[in-house]
Amino acid sequence: MAIVISPSILSCDFADLRGELAKIAGADFAHVDVMDNHFVPNLTLGLPVVERIVAASPVPVDAHLMIAEPDRWAPAYAEAGCASVTFHAEAATAPVRLARELRSAGARAGLALRPATPVEPYLDLLGEFDMILVMTVEPGFGGQSFLDGTLPKITRLREAIARTDADVWVQVDGGISRATIERAADAGANVFVAGSAVYSAQDAAAEVDALRSLAQGAHRH
C-alpha cells in the first residue's frame, strides 16, 4: 500500500503561493481546500486560483471541495487539471454519477465524509471511487485537534476495501502531525493531509519527510 503525503496549503502564505508550493516538492500531492462559505463557514479560493495553482505546483493537485452543489461545480476542477478531486457525500446529489464524470475528465475521484457521516452506505460502491476521505476534524478550518473517534471508521473502511479487488486509497485530513499520524496509519489510512504541521514547521520539506517515515513505520501490513 502506497504511503502518500499531501500537505494542505490552507496554512501557507497565500501572498506567496508559488514559493510555498515549492517547499513541498518532496510531497506526493498539494492538497487545496476549496471552501464556499455555504457547505462550511469559511471562504478560501475557487476555480481561477486553482487553475494557477495547478500550473505553478511542482506536484499534482489534490482538490478537497467543501462546497454545496458539487454535482454542478466539481467537474470543472477535473477539467482544470487537478489530479484528484474530492467532494463531500453530504453535499452531493448523485455521488456515483459525479465520480464517473470526474474519472472521465481524467481525475481520481474522491468521496469525503464528515466525522459523523457513516461509511456503511458507501461500502458496496467502493469500486466507484479512487479515494475515500475520512475527515478527522469537522471541515472548515486548519489547526484543529485530531478526533480519535474517527479511527474505528477508518479501520472498518480499510477492512471493507480489503474484501474487494479495488485499490481505494483512504485519506485522513485534519489534525495530522507527528503526534497523530501513526494512529491514523495504524487504523488503515494511507494518504495523509497535513496543513499546520507542515507550514508551521521551520523546515516544511523536512516535516514532509518526517511524517512520511512515521507513517511508513506505523502502517498496518
Ligand X SMILES: O=C(CO)[C@@H](O)[C@H](O)COP(=O)(O)O
Known binding-site positions: 8, 31, 33, 64, 140-143, 173-175, 195-196
Taking CB under 5 A as the criterion, which residues in 59-88 touch Fe ion?
Answer: 64
Binding segment (CB under 5 A) for Fe ion, from list 25-33, 48-56, 121-129, 213-221: 25-33
- DSSP, collapsed to helix, strand or coil, labels residue 126 as helix
Q: Does 173 bind Fe ion (CB under 5 A)?
A: yes
- Residue with C-alpha cell 521551520? 202
C-alpha cell at 93: 446529489
Alpha helices (H) in the chain, listed in sequence order = 17-22, 47-56, 70-79, 95-104, 151-162, 181-187, 196-199, 204-218
User: Which amino acid is located at 142 in the chain?
Assistant: G
C-alpha cell at 51: 487553475
Minimum CB–partner distance for residue 136 and Fe ion (Å): 10
- Contact between 219 and 187 under an 8 Å Cβ cutoff? The reply is no
- Residues forming the active site: 33, 173
Instruction: Quote the CA–CA distance of 29 and 130 in Å, as a whole number.
Output: 15
Q: Does 33 bind Fe ion (CB under 5 A)?
A: yes
C-alpha cell at 217: 513505520
Minimum CB–partner distance for residue 174 and ligand X (Å): 5
Which of 195, 204, 208, 211 touches ligand X (CB under 6 A)?
A: 195
Which residue has its beta carbon closest to Fe ion? 64
Please tell me the count of residues contacting ligand X according to CB under 6 A.
Answer: 22
Binding segment (CB under 6 A) for ligand X, from list 93-101, 113-121, 137-145, 207-215: 137-145
Identify which of residues 173 and 207 has a Cβ nearer to Fe ion in the complex. Answer: 173
Instruction: Quote the CA–CA distance of 175 and 163 in Å, as a whole number.
Output: 29
Identify which of residues 110 and 139 has a Cβ nearer to ligand X in the complex. Answer: 139
Q: Does 196 bind ligand X (CB under 6 A)?
A: yes
Q: Does 33 bind ligand X (CB under 6 A)?
A: yes
The dihedral region occupied by 37, where left means phi > 0, alpha psi between -120 and 50, and beta the remainder, is: left
Instruction: Quote the CA–CA distance of 28 and 6 in Å, as a whole number.
Output: 6
C-alpha cell at 5: 503525503
Which of 70, 75, 81, 142 touches ligand X (CB under 6 A)?
A: 142
Minimum CB–partner distance for residue 129 and Fe ion (Å): 16
Minimum CB–partner distance for residue 60 and ligand X (Å): 16
- Contact between 11 and 173 under an 8 Å Cβ cutoff? The reply is no
Q: Which residues bind Fe ion (CB under 5 A)?
A: 33, 64, 173
Q: Which residues bind ligand X (CB under 6 A)?
A: 8, 10-11, 31, 33, 64, 137, 139-144, 173-176, 193-197
